[in-house]
Amino acid sequence: MTNWEFSLDCAKKLDQNDKLSHFRDKFHFPTFSDKRPIYFTGNSLGLQPKLTRTYINRELDEWAKWGVDGHTRAERPWMPYHELFTDKIARLVGAKHSEVAVTHSLTTNLHLLMVSFFNPKGKRCKILCEKKAFPSDQYALQSQLQFHGLNPKENLIEVEPRVGEHTIRNEDIISIIEDHEDEIAMIMIGGVNYFTGQVFDMQKISKAGHKIGANVGFDLAHAAGNISLKLNEWNVDFATWCSYKYLNSGPGGVSGYFIHERHVSNENIPRFAGWWGHNKEDRFKMPDTFSPIPTAESWQLSNAPVISMAAHLASLEIFDEAGFENLRTKSIELTNFLAFVIDEINKEVSINLEVITPKEENNRGCQLSIVAHGAERKLFNQLTAEGVISDWREPNVIRVAPVPLYNSFEDVYRFGEVLKQALKI
């Protein structure tokens, strides 16, 4: 890091030493502008792998060829299609084969999991989450409380940053858990906060929650494919995530979920059942009584959405080829270089750029959230006009996410140059 320079030459040298640089050629970059794009919004929608069209077209061809018989006679039969993901996803989230499945959408899965893991009884009827969670999570938590006849204003505990701080201290989360030890039924937190990019200590939160008798789950929309996860080892009860951000599987793509092994074989756990969660041996005998598969698959409601899953498979095969630990190493280097570039810009401009994402490498993923003090949305519009595809959050936060699969150190340098020039106008 001491040898870094805010220069194109330095960025190109870093790219020359990047063993993952060739993966960039496996993705399509936006072509709607005459400007060469700097795509820093993989935290909202990942780029399309070039394999995606091939994988989707293959299933369309199978459908045309076989019709309904594609469920059993396609090259990759549709009936067990979801099983293609089990090993790949288990590796990505640190789970056992029996603990994961892919189906539905993120908030659908979150609701299905809360049916099982939010069971308010007596005084223990509250949910703990982080303040300013992604709105969909907040709506889901509020509606679950209302479904049980509870008032969200009284039964939703939101942990927030201390005055003058942007991120939530993990010790404050633990302290509030302990303060409400006989009231909390469930803890549900975003593993990575969508606004600040802060990574929460999921292992410590799980341990603290279990100590007071609460179930603990995480929305990993901004974590899966972004940070290292060890859900089984961390003793997490449940988690779910989307596939269209860092997992590059297309807008509205399918969702994955995790249920710890101690729960998956419990036939008596409450759940909303569907026929694809019924035991495979007699599923097509159409029995009257639901018999759950003794794995996380039993939370499935319907058969696999094959076309969407084909896009997901194309991306996950790239992850397998690259190796996640290699990606994580590059991600840390990219964000360190980006933070260095921002520090260099601050030496040359009057507007102060403040990175509110934690500096510690273990407490952040790809995303850096930058407060442009005194700037207005005009700054974001200027960046966009120069080909920077990023994200603006009111009143003055720019979220940028250099993704290791397809972003380069030169991207980071060019972003810095565009940002510096925009601030000097």
Helices vs. strands in the chain: H and E counts, helices first: 14, 15
**Please, what is the end-to-end C-alpha distance for the chain in angstroms?**
30
d(CA 366, CA 76) in angstroms, rounded, equals: 34
Q: What local confidence, expressed as pLDDT, does residue 424 receive?
A: 83
If you count them, how many residues does the chain have?
425
3-state helix, strand, coil in the chain (%, to 5): 45, 15, 40
Residue at token pair 């599923």: 283
DSSP type of residue 213: T
What's the pLDDT score for residue 237? 98
Half-sphere exposure of 383 (CA within 13 A, CB side): 25
**Adjacent-strand bridge partners of 215:** 186
The two tokens of residue 109 are 């899965």
Q: What's the chain's Rg over C-alpha atoms?
A: 23
Dist. CA 133–CA 154, nearest whole Å? 18
Q: Residue 333: what residue type? A: E
Query: Do residues 110 and 137 lie in contact, with contact meaning Cβ atoms separated by under 8 Å?
Result: yes
User: What pTM did the predictor assign?
Assistant: 0.96
pLDDT attached to residue 2: 64
Question: Phi then psi for 41, rounded to 5 degrees?
Answer: -125, 35
As given in the structure block, the two tokens for residue 366 are 């790809």
| Closest residue by Cα to residue 389 from 366, 418, 361 | 418
**Cβ burial, residue 54 (10 Å; 0-12/13-18/19+):** exposed
Q: What averages of pLDDT result for each successive group of 10 residues across the chain (425 residues)?
A: 88 98 98 93 98 98 98 97 97 98 97 98 97 94 98 98 96 98 98 97 98 98 98 98 98 98 94 96 94 97 97 98 98 98 95 96 97 93 96 94 98 98 86
Q: Which domains does the chain have, with CATH numbers?
A: 8-49+324-424 (3.90.1150.10), 80-320 (3.40.640.10)
Q: Specify the pLDDT at position 328.
A: 98
> Which of these, 418, 404, 401, lies nearest to 40 by C-alpha position?
401
Strand 353-355 and strand 368-372: the pairing is antiparallel
Residue 134 near residue 106 (C-beta atoms within 8 A): no
